[in-house]
Amino acid sequence: MTQNSINEIFEEEIRTPQLYLQYHSERNGIKLHKFQSLILDSKESINFVHVPVGSGKTYTYIYEVILEDHSALMVLPTNALIEDLKRESERILSGKGKKVSSLTAGELDRRKEEGSRGEIIKKTVDKNDLIITNPDILSYLIHGAYGNGKDAFDWGYVLFERGFDSIVFDEYHLFSEDELAIITAFICVYLAGGIPEYNPRFHFLSGTPWEDAIDEITELCAGLHVSKTKIEETPSFDNTIPGRMIQKEKKIFINNRMNRTLLEVLTEGKDSIKGEIIEYIEENYPVLFLFDSIYDAVKFDDLLLKCYSETEIGRNTGLETRAKERENIFDIEKVKNKEYKAIVTTNKLEVGVNYPVDHAFMESGRELSNALQRIGRVGRKEGEEEAEVYLLISERIAKNPYKIRADLKEYFKNVTGSKMIYYSRNFHKKYFRKSLSININLIYDSLKKGRQTKIMKERLTDSLRRMGMEIYPITRLLNEYNFSEDLRKKVRERISESFLNFRPNSFTKRIILKSKRGEIETEYDVIRALIKFELIELKPETSGDSSLIFTSEGRGLKLDGIKIKISSPLCEEPSTFP
């Protein structure tokens, strides 16, 4: 059995230049790039910050705490990124009289002896200048999940009385429409409060901005009569400028056949390169391996164990943080000291955690923005050696593999241009707006009344009316359909529980996607369907199962004219349907 060489499988090469970002000013010994100075000086309510991966977006808010004597709430997409930023924040803030703390489910559990979760949150925001949390904690907070029983806690305190100067949403391009709707509803309620002394600035950060989302949030800002701005800065390849390198020169090799996954290319079949991979690791370690599938990551890890010990493999997939054995938890210092031969990770690497590695094999992800984020995590350590990225684009993962390959070439041809390059994915406005209206109502209802809530509701109603929208109670969603009282009660309870989560779900049913091409079976969340699609029929089946039939705009599907049929019962009793 012959084995192809690595370069026969990854034969197309793209070269990227070293990229530098110029220093713009210096304040109290801290050198700042232009975009960082603009953030610190901004008076706008909404700030979209778009700079390349590696520019130091999140560090700006650590500097704000020091230079402006401000407080900041930062919402980061993963706990791994929270841990990374907290560690860096503690290092930078050490000796400066400023404190940082994180709020995650794990952190709240570890501190349970201090009192209820609501009490711990209040104590944390009182005693720290920089709070770092994730979208799930924020969603629970703003929907009043810490406001019942012994956890009684007014989340409005965090909003209005604590008075954060900056509230930051990092990597916002990763959010789906319903996730973005929760964040936007939170901002609408906050700004509609109209309390001058609590006037935070909201910041949306990304290296691969989502243009349609920006347009929608901008329209909402106009309705609320608040200001917004874009803060952008593009890099240079001029190494003579006073600045710092944010990306070293890279060679990106792309696969020639797009019908296989990275695991298959590395390990399986006659065209695998498993014989050369160990040799490549020995010559270039630490080498990063990024898989879209956690199953593939675990399987590749098992294969590496045949050649290396447990301590020579760095695992950062998310599974190991839940393991009972804590001695082999991923340690970034072991990467820096080259104690790991290989690092196995998943798409969690995409969102801000930076590994000092110059060699990587990775899958591209579904969109161009995924590929750019991943490539940008490699080649950021000091040294003259070129970085190498072997990027596998697979038609089994990528939405449009051939377009990703073409757009990558175009991107790196123009990366040092005068304008930021935007890449849009489909944005489903109707779905976003309906979810936004429901979330605004839920968040408003969770506030203790009497804190200018009447003025707030008037401003919210006026803003939404300008966009052809209105505050949308859950009861109205249910009253639109001829549900029985039993079914209405069940769905209402599930919705209330569902919207506490940043990634809401209620109860999933097998559904059939119908089109001229035939039927495709899948599963879909019932309450998501009620918000996302238009219900066109509700009828009982003779078999005892009941059906909800929807019409859809085909979000996330390549099929047109989709009808969705939920073919298993929503309630135990078929008689609950008309």
Question: What's the pLDDT tens digit per position in 396-428?
Answer: 888 788 888 888 888 777 665 545 666 666 788
Query: Given a cut of 60, is residue 322 above it in pLDDT?
Result: no
Per-residue pLDDT at 268: 74
Confidence of residue 554 (pLDDT cuts 50, 70, 90): very low
In the 3-class helix/strand/coil scheme, how is 331-370 assigned residue by residue? Answer: CHHHHHCCCCCEEEECHHHHCCCCCCCCEEEEECCCCHHH
Q: Give Cα 51 distance to the centre of its chain.
A: 17
Most confident of 40-44, 170-174, 243-247, 461-465: 40-44
Of the CA atoms within 13 Å of residue 387, those in its CB half-sphere come to 30
Dihedral (CA of 168, 171, 177, 178) sign: negative
Question: Which amino acid makes up residue 243?
Answer: G
- Host H or E run for residue 539: strand 534-540
The CA–CA distances, whole Å, from 529 to 59, 506, 561 equal 39, 10, 16
More confident residue, 54 or 148: 54
Average pLDDT over residues 114-143: 87
Q: Are 118 and 151 in contact (CB under 8 A)?
A: yes
Per-residue pLDDT at 462: 76
Set out the domains of the chain in order of their start, with CATH numbers.
6-16+248-414 (3.40.50.300), 21-232 (3.40.50.300), 501-578 (no CATH)
Confidence of residue 209 (pLDDT cuts 50, 70, 90): confident
The CA–CA distances, whole Å, from 141 to 138, 151, 281, 367, 413 equal 5, 11, 45, 32, 44
Question: pLDDT tens digits, residue range 211-235?
Answer: 888 888 888 777 777 788 999 888 8
Region of poorest pLDDT, from 161-175, 262-276, 521-535: 521-535
- Region for residue 28 given its phi and psi (left: phi exceeds 0; alpha: psi -120 to 50; beta: otherwise): left
Query: Given a cut of 50, is residue 151 above it in pLDDT?
Result: no
Q: Which two tokens stand for residue 1?
A: 């059995």
Per-residue pLDDT at 186: 84
Percent above pLDDT 90 for the chain:
19
Per-residue pLDDT at 477: 65
Query: Given a cut of 60, is residue 564 above it in pLDDT?
Result: no
Question: pLDDT tens digits, residue range 86-97?
Answer: 989 999 998 899
Per-residue pLDDT at 160: 58
pTM of this prediction exceeds 0.75: yes
Percent above pLDDT 70 for the chain:
69
Question: Among 452, 397, 358, 355, which Cα is nearest to 261's?
Answer: 397
Question: Among 424, 376, 348, which Cα is nearest to 82's?
Answer: 348
How far, in Å, CA of 177 to CA of 308, rounded? 43
Q: Are 266 and 361 in contact (CB under 8 A)?
A: yes
Q: 177-192 and 429-446 are packed helices; what angle lies between their axes, rounded to 10 degrees?
A: 50
Average pLDDT over residues 10-31: 88
Mean pLDDT of the chain: 77
Confidence of residue 330 (pLDDT cuts 50, 70, 90): confident
Average pLDDT over residues 350-365: 82
- What is the residue-wise DSSP string for 388-416? EEEEE--TTT-SSHHHHHHHHHHHHHHTT
Average pLDDT over residues 345-359: 77
More confident residue, 538 or 32: 32
Q: Give Cα 566 distance to the centre of its chain.
A: 29
